Chains A and B, each alone.
Chain A
Amino acid sequence: MIKKIFFVFILFLTVVKIAQATEMESDRYRIQMGNLNSESGTMTSTSNVSLSTTLGELAAGQFTKTGYVVKAGFQYINSIIPFTFTISNTNIRFNELQPSQPATGGANLTVSFGGAYKYTVSTIAETRFQTLDGAKYIPDTLCDAGHTCYKNSANIWTLAETEGFGYNMIGEDIASDFTNNTYFRPFPIRTLGDLPEVIMESNDVTLELVRPYTHQSTIVFKTNITPVQAAGNYQAIINFIATPGY
Chain B
Amino acid sequence: MFKRLIKYLMLIFVFTFMLSTKVIAQQTSLSISPPLIEAIIKPGKSILIAYTIYNNGDPVILKPYIASFETTAEGKMIIKDAQSPIRFSLDNSDISLDQPFFLKTGERQQLLVRMRIPEGAAEGDYYHSLLVESQPPPMIEGMSSSRNKATIGANILMTVTETGNLNLDGKVILFDLIPRFKTNFFGKTLNIFDSSDKIPLVFVLKNNGKNMFSPQGEISLKGNFGEQAKYDIVPANILTNSQRLITATPSAELKIKRPVSLVISGFFLGYYQLSANIRLGVNTRLLSANTSFIAFPFKFVMALISIIIIAVLIIKKTKKEEE
Contact = CB atoms under 8 A, between A and B. Distances in A.
Interface of A: 3, 7, 10-11, 14-15, 22, 24-31, 33, 36, 42-55, 60, 62, 64, 67-71, 73-74, 76, 79-97, 103, 105, 107, 110, 112-113, 115-118, 120, 129, 132, 195-196, 198, 203-205, 210, 221, 223, 233-246
Contacts of A73: 38
A242 to B, nearest CB: 5
Interface string B107-143: 1111010000000000000010101011011011111
Interface stretch (B19-27, B191-199, B305-313): B19-27
Nearest to B24: A89
Contacts of B52: 33, 82
Interface of B: 7, 11, 14-15, 18-19, 25-42, 45-50, 52, 54, 56-57, 76-79, 91-95, 102-104, 107-110, 112, 127, 129, 131, 133-134, 136-137, 139-155, 157, 163-166, 214, 234-237, 239, 245, 247, 249, 253, 259, 281-282
Given A105-B146, A129-B146, A242-B152, A198 B76 contact: yes
B195 to A, nearest CB: 25
A44 B145 contact: no
5 contacts: A43-B48, A69-B40, A76-B234, A76-B235, A244-B155
A83 B50 contact: no
A239 B50 contact: no
Given A49-B47, A82-B54, A92-B148, A71 B38 contact: yes
B145 A85 contact: no
B79 A241 contact: yes
B257 to A, nearest CB: 9
Contact of A44 (B28, B48, B57, B141): B48
A53 B131 contact: no
Contacts of A71: 38, 40
A90 B36 contact: no
B85 to A, nearest CB: 16
The 8 closest A-B pairs by CB, nearest first: A82-B33, A89-B25, A68-B164, A244-B35, A82-B31, A86-B29, A14-B18, A83-B35
Contact of A29 (B34, B93, B107): B93
Given A91-B137, A93-B145, A85 B152 contact: yes
A141 B56 CA distance: 34
Contact of B28 (A7, A22, A87): A87
B152 A94 contact: no
A179 to B, nearest CB: 15
A240 B14 contact: no
B153 A241 contact: yes
Of A27, A81, A118, A243, the most chain B CB neighbours within 10 A belong to A243
A239 B151 contact: yes
A11 B13 CA distance: 12
Contacts of A64: 282
B79 A196 contact: yes
A42 B50 contact: yes
A107 B146 CA distance: 11
B151 A93 contact: no
Of A52, A82, A93, the most chain B CB neighbours within 10 A belong to A82
Contacts of B249: 76, 205
B17 to A, nearest CB: 9
B41 A237 contact: no
B136 to A, nearest CB: 5
Of A22, A62, A235, the most chain B CB neighbours within 10 A belong to A235
Given A48-B45, A85-B30, A205-B249, 19 more contacts: A26-B94, A29-B91, A33-B50, A44-B48, A49-B41, A73-B38, A85-B31, A85-B152, A87-B148, A90-B27, A91-B147, A94-B143, A110-B29, A234-B144, A236-B146, A240-B151, A243-B79, A244-B154, A246-B155
